[in-house]
């Protein structure tokens, strides 16, 4: 009766394990506070202090305080937790065998003195029999664990199939002699380890911030160690959408520890640090931000910059691969697909060909690939001068749009842009380019910050 109860209990536990493995909230998701702080984390530690460019309250509900870095050991390399669960199951099987051994006094034989022998039995001494069989079980367990560790990366089988194999094995019939039962354990484990191709157990997909949010709805915004790297997750609302955003690009020159990325160089003007195009020549300076395999269907981000000199807004006859605007171009993938354009107009209170196309009575137009996915603003209400950076009126913030430029400040969520691609599954990299059709001495749009998320 006791052995039957143990068998029923094991099947119940196996069923519970099967249900738990279906959930994204598993033991591999348990947070462990990291005791060291990486250079990247220190670089971004003041993220929440930059209130000047916070999303309007209608669009941002991330009021949770910053947290210390958290380690989530999940992703392609998170085999350890699953292996431990399999080992626990094996230990349960061995426990059944031990109970069977103690309760059955009918199986008696002699332990051989040959240490390399693969057989074991019971002598007339109960203690001797138990010790002999426990030694065999220990050797068997060591062999099983070693095989699991060696083959874990190649094991492919769904959780349901694994549990079915265990539940339907002859192990559940505890009347089987111990040696035969142990052999059954080895056969089952070997079968599990030899199955290839199509696994959902060990070939776990990459984990996004959205996955963490789904598994732990109360997770705060902050750094998480996932997919073998530190990733910043915004768990609050962005761009009118629920949290779980994975950040792929970030710069804030208000932070003295940060430097301009490749292709841009620092410029200090009016006490403000910005990044201008590197090299005093026409064209775009590019930075590419990888998603590292994480798929997405939404992009949310913001850019802040300034007008320098005589920016000319749009160049209608220029394609997406060249300097089609004076401003910042955001695209994805190759060939480039337009995401958003941040455009710098010539002057805010007049309508000429180089003024913003969103002005009342504008005479300029954007290219067809841009459509309505752009912001445009000028940083000055008077005729601009070469070499002057107009720091009193940051671009694209929805403020100080007088006269004919007023419609340009009506965009929802300025500075933030948002693109939703529906049911599409996208893994394209995001590219940010600072563009100008003249050298920076004549015109430029140096950037002060940018921030891009995907989900």
Between residues 78 and 32, the one the model is more confident about: 78
pLDDT by residue (tens digit) across 40-82? 444 444 443 333 433 333 344 443 444 444 544 444 444 555 5
Q: How confident is the model at residue 98 (pLDDT cuts 50, 70, 90)?
A: low
State yes or no: pLDDT of 280 exceeds 50. Answer: yes
Q: How confident is the model at residue 305 (pLDDT cuts 50, 70, 90)?
A: very high
pLDDT given at position 325: 98
Query: Residues 274-302: what's their mean pLDDT?
Result: 96
pLDDT given at position 384: 94
pLDDT given at position 46: 41
Predicted TM-score (pTM) of this structure? 0.61
Q: How confident is the model at residue 90 (pLDDT cuts 50, 70, 90)?
A: confident
Structural contact between residues 98 and 141, judged by C-beta atoms closer than 8 angstroms? no
Query: Residues 155-165: what's their mean pLDDT?
Result: 47
Closest CA to 141 of 89, 177, 102: 89
pLDDT given at position 78: 47
pLDDT given at position 453: 99
DSSP track, 203-243: SPPP--HHHHHHH-TTPPSEEEEETTEEEEEE-S-BTTB-S
Mean per-residue pLDDT of the chain: 73
Phi, psi at 223, each rounded to 5°? -85, 140
Query: Residues 104-115: what's their mean pLDDT?
Result: 43
Query: Residues 400-411: what's their mean pLDDT?
Result: 91
Closest CA to 296 of 420, 453, 429, 426: 426
Q: How confident is the model at residue 29 (pLDDT cuts 50, 70, 90)?
A: very low
CA 108 to chain centre: 58
Q: How confident is the model at residue 184 (pLDDT cuts 50, 70, 90)?
A: low
**Beta-strand runs (E) in 131-282:** 222-226, 229-234, 245-252, 264-269, 272-277
pLDDT given at position 206: 85
Cα-based angle 308, 280, 315 (whole degrees, multiple of 5):
60
pLDDT given at position 84: 65
Alpha helices per DSSP H over 346-452: none
Q: How confident is the model at residue 24 (pLDDT cuts 50, 70, 90)?
A: very low
Closest CA to 428 of 271, 243, 237, 295: 295
State yes or no: pLDDT of 387 exceeds 50. Answer: yes
State yes or no: pLDDT of 281 exceeds 70. Answer: yes
Q: Other CB atoms closer than 10 Å to residue 99's CB: what's the count?
A: 14
Between residues 137 and 385, the one the model is more confident about: 385
With tokens 């850019």, the residue in question is 303
Closest CA to 455 of 286, 202, 240: 240
Between residues 181 and 53, the one the model is more confident about: 181
Q: How confident is the model at residue 171 (pLDDT cuts 50, 70, 90)?
A: very low
State yes or no: pLDDT of 308 exceeds 60. Answer: yes
User: Helix 2-22 vs helix 159-167: angle between axes, to the nearest 10 degrees?
Assistant: 170
pLDDT by residue (tens digit) across 208-252? 999 999 999 999 999 999 888 899 999 999 999 999 999 999 999
Where along the chain do its domains lie?
Answer: 2-30+79-194, 247-454
Three-state DSSP at 268 gives strand
């Amino acid at each position: 009766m006791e052995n039957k109860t143990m068998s029923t209990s094991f099947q119940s536990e196996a069923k519970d394990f099967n249900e738990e493995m279906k959930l994204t909230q598993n033991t591999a998701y348990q947070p462990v506070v990291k005791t060291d702080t990486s250079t990247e984390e220190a670089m971004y530690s003041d993220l929440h202090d930059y209130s000047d460019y916070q999303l309007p309250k209608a669009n941002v509900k991330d009021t949770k305080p910053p947290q210390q870095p958290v380690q989530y050991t999940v992703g392609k390399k998170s085999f350890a937790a699953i292996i431990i669960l399999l080992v626990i199951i094996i230990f349960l099987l061995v426990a059944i065998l031990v109970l069977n051994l103690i309760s059955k006094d009918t199986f008696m034989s002699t332990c051989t003195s040959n240490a390399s022998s693969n057989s074991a039995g019971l002598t007339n001494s109960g203690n001797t029999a138990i010790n002999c069989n426990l030694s065999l079980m220990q050797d068997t367990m060591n062999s099983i664990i070693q095989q699991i560790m060696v083959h874990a990366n190649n094991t492919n089988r769904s959780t349901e199939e694994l549990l079915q194999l265990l539940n339907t094995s002859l192990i559940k019939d505890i009347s089987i002699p111990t040696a035969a039962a142990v052999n059954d354990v080895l056969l089952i484990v070997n079968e599990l380890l030899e199955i290839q191709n199509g696994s959902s157990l060990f070939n776990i997909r990459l984990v996004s911030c959205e996955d963490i949010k789904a598994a732990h709805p109360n997770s705060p915004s902050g750094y998480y160690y996932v997919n073998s790297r530190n990733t910043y997750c915004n768990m609050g609302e962005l761009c009118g959408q629920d949290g779980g955003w994975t950040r792929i690009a970030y710069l804030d020159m208000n932070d003295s520890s940060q430097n301009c990325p490749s292709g841009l160089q620092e410029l200090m003007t009016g006490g403000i640090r910005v990044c201008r195009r590197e090299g005093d020549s026409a064209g775009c300076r590019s930075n590419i931000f990888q998603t590292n395999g994480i798929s997405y269907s939404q992009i949310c981000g913001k850019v802040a910059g300034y007008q320098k000199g005589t920016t000319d807004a749009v160049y209608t006859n220029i394609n997406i691969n060249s300097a089609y605007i004076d401003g910042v171009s955001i695209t994805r993938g190759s060939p480039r697909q337009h995401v958003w354009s941040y455009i710098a107009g010539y002057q805010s209170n007049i309508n000429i060909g180089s003024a913003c196309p969103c002005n009342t009575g504008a005479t300029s137009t954007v290219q067809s690939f841009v459509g309505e996915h752009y912001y445009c603003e000028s940083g000055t209400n008077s005729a601009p001068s070469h070499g002057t950076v107009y720091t009193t009126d940051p671009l694209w913030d929805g403020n100080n749009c007088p006269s004919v430029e007023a419609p340009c400040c009506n965009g929802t969520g300025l500075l933030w842009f948002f693109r939703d691609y529906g049911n599409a599954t996208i893994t394209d990299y995001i590219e940010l380019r600072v563009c100008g059709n003249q050298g920076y001495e004549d015109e430029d749009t140096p950037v002060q910050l940018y921030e891009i998320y995907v989900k």
